[in-house]
Chains A and B, each alone.
Chain A
Amino acid sequence: MTFNESRFGGAVLIRPAGRIDLSNAEAFKEALLAALASATTAVVVDLGAIDYISSAGLRSMVIALRSAKSASKGFAVSGLTPMVLEIFTISRFNLVFSIHASARDALAAVSPDALIAFDAS
């Protein structure tokens, strides 16, 4: 798994790529928490390049979501491939996370400033 990270206004957009499973869920969690620490308003996790996420990876996202809520920051997810969306649906995480079709939509949902910065980029 690799990460690509970019900043739009006070929001951080993080794009992991590959598989997220038991072997790298801890690194995924640390990357999400680091993104949250550096973001002032919100974090968007774009999963467009993720082809599989296990329960351990979903657990990492739950921890990040809790951290975001306690810090009064936004947390949204975007770009799920059909298979990853299916995993979210079967596990009912589609009811837990704010899920958007694209990173732009997710940034718009969490922060107007982030959307302006994204459109200007």
Chain B
Amino acid sequence: MKITFWGTRGSLPAPLSGRSVRRKLVNALVKGANRGLDTPEKAEAFCDEAMSFAEWSTFGGNTSCVQVDTGGTDYLICDLGSGAREFSLSALGKHGPAAPQTYHVLVSHVHWDHIMGFPFFVPAFIPGNHIRIYSCHPKFEEAIRGQSHAPCFPVEFSALPASIEFITLETGVPYEIAGATVTGMAQLHGGESFGYRIEHDGKTAVYTTDAEYKPDDYGLMDRTAAFFRGADLVIFDAMYSLAESISVKEDWGHSSNIMGVELCQMAGARQLCLFHHEPVNDDQRIQDILAETLRFEEITRSGDKLEICAAYDGLVLEL
């Protein structure tokens, strides 16, 4: 199973500003001064060896879209945030517009950052493509149809030439989708949200975003740990700090890096991926949060090590 992250931000797209680019550039020039970086190869090596990820790259700014590749011919993605446009362009670039494909989409919920990419989902504009959109959310069809509608968007949903289907899922019921077994779980989030456990060929990825986990709700913690049980990867809403999520931002529907570690430890999961980054956090801040999370896992570890990464647009994980 291969996981590709096309959009990893929460709430709204967060493009890198010109000021941020300039700051990175100035930092790199100062760091690289007098090092003889007079060829692209030397500069590339300098980036790899002497600079952190936040210094030479960016976590990206697109909202939620994650591709799950199970090795079949059909595509499977989670959510239709602004990253879905990047995904769709990549798929088209691979096959070309004349070769119809089938796209399976799992929708966590219908807040705008999770569906805003659909009006720009290029395969929907090409006859012959099949798009099958699944969700446990009761209003996902209404929301996705509704945003491709005047006065918000110039192309009516009904005018899209691709074959588009909406399939409602029930929580707790395993479904065969794009060669994988997919099971949904209801999550705490305003307006409802659903996580998905995706299993294929002995590997398991859990996609759980826009979900609040209350540490003193023992039933919820146990149910969630059971849903995560033994997962090879848990893609986890780590938008807030723990203090924010259980005090000033309680009931805002998001979770924290700390809660991600604790739940993965309870579940015996192998890897935690921090996801749905707070849009006000810059690259350095997200990198610092990752470092702190690694440290928290280290000081609370009682069994096997939990691997931890922070998602970025373009990250590929092989499970």
A: which residues have CB within 8 A of B? 22, 25-26, 29, 52, 54-56, 58-60, 62-63, 83, 86-87, 89-93, 95-96
CB closest chain-A residue, reference B262: A55
Selecting from B32-40, B87-95, B243-251, B309-317, the interface stretch reads: B243-251
Report yes or no: B241 in contact with A92, Cβ–Cβ below 8 A.
yes
* Measured CA separation A54–B243 after assembly (Å): 12
Give which listed residue, A22, A29, A91, contacts B258 with CB less than 8 A. Answer: A91
* Measured CA separation A60–B299 after assembly (Å): 21
Interface of chain B, helix or strand or loop or mixed?
helix
Give which listed residue, A22, A26, A86, A91, contacts B241 with CB less than 8 A. Answer: A91
Interface of chain A, helix or strand or loop or mixed?
helix
Report yes or no: A86 in contact with B247, Cβ–Cβ below 8 A.
no
Give which listed residue, A55, A62, A83, A92, contacts B259 with CB less than 8 A. Answer: A55
Report yes or no: B295 in contact with A55, Cβ–Cβ below 8 A.
no
A-B complex: 4 closest residue pairs judged by Cβ atoms: A91-B242, A92-B243, A92-B241, A55-B215
Shortest beta-carbon distance from A78 to chain B in Å: 18
B1 within 8 A of A: no
Report yes or no: B259 in contact with A52, Cβ–Cβ below 8 A.
no
Report yes or no: A59 in contact with B243, Cβ–Cβ below 8 A.
no
Known: A96-B243, A96-B247. A22 touches B215 (CB 8 A): yes
Which residues of chain A are within 8 angstroms of B256 by Cβ–Cβ distance?
A: 55, 91
Interface centre among A54, A62, A91, A95 (most CB of B within 10 A): A91
* Measured CA separation A60–B246 after assembly (Å): 10
Report yes or no: A86 in contact with B259, Cβ–Cβ below 8 A.
no
Known: A22-B221, A55-B258. A62 touches B296 (CB 8 A): no
* Measured CA separation A58–B242 after assembly (Å): 9
B292 within 8 A of A: yes
Shortest beta-carbon distance from B212 to chain A in Å: 12
Give chain B interface residues in 235-280, CB to chain A under 8 Å. Answer: 241-244, 246-247, 256-259, 262
Give chain B interface residues in 69-85, CB to chain A under 8 Å. Answer: none
Which residues of chain B are within 8 angstroms of A60 by Cβ–Cβ distance?
A: 216
Report yes or no: A55 in contact with B300, Cβ–Cβ below 8 A.
no
Report yes or no: B258 in contact with A26, Cβ–Cβ below 8 A.
no
28 contacts between A and B (CB under 8 A): A22-B215, A25-B216, A55-B242, A55-B246, A55-B258, A55-B259, A58-B243, A59-B214, A59-B215, A59-B216, A59-B246, A62-B246, A62-B247, A83-B299, A86-B299, A87-B296, A87-B299, A90-B258, A91-B242, A91-B258, A91-B296, A92-B241, A92-B242, A92-B244, A93-B243, A95-B243, A96-B243, A96-B247
